[in-house]
Every structure is written in C-alpha cells, then in structure tokens.
Amino acid sequence: MATTREWLLTESPASRMQARLGRSYRVFTALMRNPLAVIGALIILALVVLAVFAPYFATHSPYAGTLTDRLQPPGPEFWLGSDELGRDIWSRIVYGARITLVIVLLVAAIAAPLGLIVGAISGYFGGWTDRILMGVTDVFLSMPKLILALAFVAALGPGIENAVIAIAITSWPAYARIARAETLTFRNSEFIAAIRLQGASAARVILRHILPLCSSSVIIRVTLDMAGIILTAAGLGFLGLGAQPPLPEWGAMISRGRAFILDQWWVATMPGFAIVIVSLGFCFLGDGLRDVLDPKSGGKQ
C-alpha cells in the first residue's frame, strides 16, 4: 500500500500515466479533507447509483398507479406518499433522477465543448476573430439566462430535448470566456511554438494541445454551474415547458402538486427536497474542487 502511494506521489514520474494518476490522487486526497466536498461527492454518487439502478430502488411503478390509492400520506406503503393518480412519489423521484442526470450531462456535453472551442479559437487567433467571437459571447453573457431559455423553449416547443438545447445555448458563453483567458496565458509559450514549427495545423494545435490544458478550469466551472442547470431545468418543467407528463421530472412533479399544496403537502414538497439535495451536492463538490484546484480564489470564498 505504501509503495503504491509512493509511486503515485513521486516527484519524478516515469510515464505520462503515472503523472496523471499522481495528480488525480493528490486532488482526491485534498478533496477528502474537505468535509463539505465529501458530502457533495456522496450525494452525486447516490444520484448516479439511484439513476442507474432505479428499478431496484423503486418500490412501485413510476407510471402506473391505482386510483384508489390516490393522495395517500407518507407511510409504510408509500414512503413519501402518493400523487393524484395514486402513483408512488418515492418511485417517481427515483426514476426522475435519471431525467435530471441526463439533462445535466447533455447540457454539459453540448455547452462545455462549444464554449471551449469558441474560447480557444478566439484566444489562439486573436485579432478580428477574437473581437467578433468575444463580442457575441459578451452579448450572450449580458442576457438574463432564464428568460432567454424560456424564450427559446417557447419558440422551439416544449420538451426535454428543447429544454436541453435552450439551457446549453445560454450557458456556453461563460466557458468560452474561461477557455479564452486560459489560452491567452500559454498561446505564446515555447511548446506551442515548437509544435507549430513541426508543421502542425491550427486545428491540430487547438484540438490536441490547447483544449486539454483549458479543460480543468472549465470542468470546475461546469460543476459549479450544475446546480443552476438543475434549477433552470426544473423551472422549465414547472412551467410545463420541459419534460412532459407522464415523465417523472422533478419540476413537473412540483407543478402537479401545486393544486394540492394546502391539503396534501407532500405531493409538491418531496420532489423539491430532491432538487435541493442534488443541487447542494453539486455546489459542495464544485466549491471543494475549486478550493483544491484553484487555491488562489478558493481560500477566500
């Protein structure tokens, strides 16, 4: 055990893989010392496990209900109560974890690469390319995100896919800004010049050498943004513009429960707790990641 640890923490790694593993190990141990980050990581882990093994954790079907069991309070049969169609709320929340996870992953998978590429191109080429791309980025950055997402969904039509597109459209500019700032710091460095002298094309320099270096700060930012993405998605669901019934999306579930809030409080309340817990998890983890990977700004936040 001690030798594995020494191998990971060595000051002179023998291979690229050893260096990478060593770095990951250092980040991991630093994260483990931050109690909030550990809690956050455990919450995210629980979310992923729930989503992947939803059928094993759900006690009922998330779609089929018995009308005679409608609006039952929380108890031994329905852990978190049942909704107006007699469906088990716990089971619906468990299956809803899948939807939440898919939404945040898709948004991250669209917005982060888009922002990275725009930022890297802007920073690498400079000049007019930079001015135009950053002009567009700044216009998007100065718009209210939620309103813009609402308007896009209104135009594209309600549904999960369009909600994902709308949220992605409003979240890429922040990543472009970060990627550009990072690119500027090493665009004139010697290793980039060396690669160019070997005849590498601009596309190759950006894709193979610049993007990997920008990605860690973008990843921190994406983790920090996850809570916001979840809230926006839930908000769209709440307004009936996101996931459509009968999908057990948490925001849409709150919206259905709104009609019963005064007498059957659990219908609207329970999915909300799920949203709060998962968003807090991402916040804690993102905060912790920033403290570890970016000590300069971490200390004072």
* Interface size with other proteins, residues (CB under 8 A): 49
Q: CB 265 → other proteins: shortest distance, Å?
A: 6
CA distance 201 to 56: 51
* DSSP assigned state of 88: B
Of 157 and 199, which CB lies nearer to other proteins in the complex structure?
157
Half-sphere exposure of 123 (CA within 13 A, CB side): 25
Q: Contact, 285 vs 222, CB < 8 A?
A: no
- Asked if 38 touches other proteins (CB under 8 A), the answer is no
Q: CB 170 → other proteins: shortest distance, Å?
A: 10
Of 208 and 258, which CB lies nearer to other proteins in the complex structure?
258
CA distance 277 to 250: 12
Q: CB 23 → other proteins: shortest distance, Å?
A: 27
Within 115-174, the residues that bind other proteins by CB under 8 A are 135-136, 138-140, 142-148, 150-157
Within 188-247, the residues that bind other proteins by CB under 8 A are 227-228, 231, 234-235, 238-241
Of 176 and 206, which CB lies nearer to other proteins in the complex structure?
176
Q: CB 289 → other proteins: shortest distance, Å?
A: 14
Q: CB 144 → other proteins: shortest distance, Å?
A: 4
What token pair was written down for 119? 């930022």
Task: Return the residue of 177, 247, 279, 285 that touches other proteins, per CB under 8 A.
Answer: 279
Helices within 58-186 (DSSP H only): 89-125, 127-141, 145-156, 160-186
- Choose one: 53-61, 83-91, 192-200, 275-283; the region binding other proteins (CB under 8 A): 275-283
What token pair was written down for 237? 């669901």
Rg (CA), the chain: 23
Q: CB 242 → other proteins: shortest distance, Å?
A: 12
Of 125 and 140, which CB lies nearer to other proteins in the complex structure?
140
How many CB atoms sit inside 10 A of residue 139's CB? 10
- Choose one: 13-21, 104-112, 206-214, 265-273; the region binding other proteins (CB under 8 A): 265-273
- Choose one: 80-88, 95-103, 181-189, 251-259; the region binding other proteins (CB under 8 A): 251-259
Q: CB 230 → other proteins: shortest distance, Å?
A: 8
- Listed as own residue / partner, the contacts of 215-220 with beta carbons closer than 8 Å and 24 or more positions apart are 215/116, 216/293, 217/178, 217/182, 217/293, 217/294, 218/112, 218/115, 218/116, 218/175, 218/178, 218/179, 219/112, 219/289, 220/286, 220/289, 220/290, 220/293, 220/294
Distances (CA, A) of 16 to 13, 24, 191, 288, 292: 7, 12, 16, 26, 22
CA distance 136 to 119: 11
Please give the backbone phi and psi of residue 64, each rounded to the nearest 5 degrees, phi first: -90, 130
Q: Which positions lie near other proteins, rule CB under 8 A?
A: 135-136, 138-140, 142-148, 150-157, 227-228, 231, 234-235, 238-241, 251, 254, 258, 261-262, 265, 268-269, 272, 275-276, 279-280, 282-284, 287, 299-301
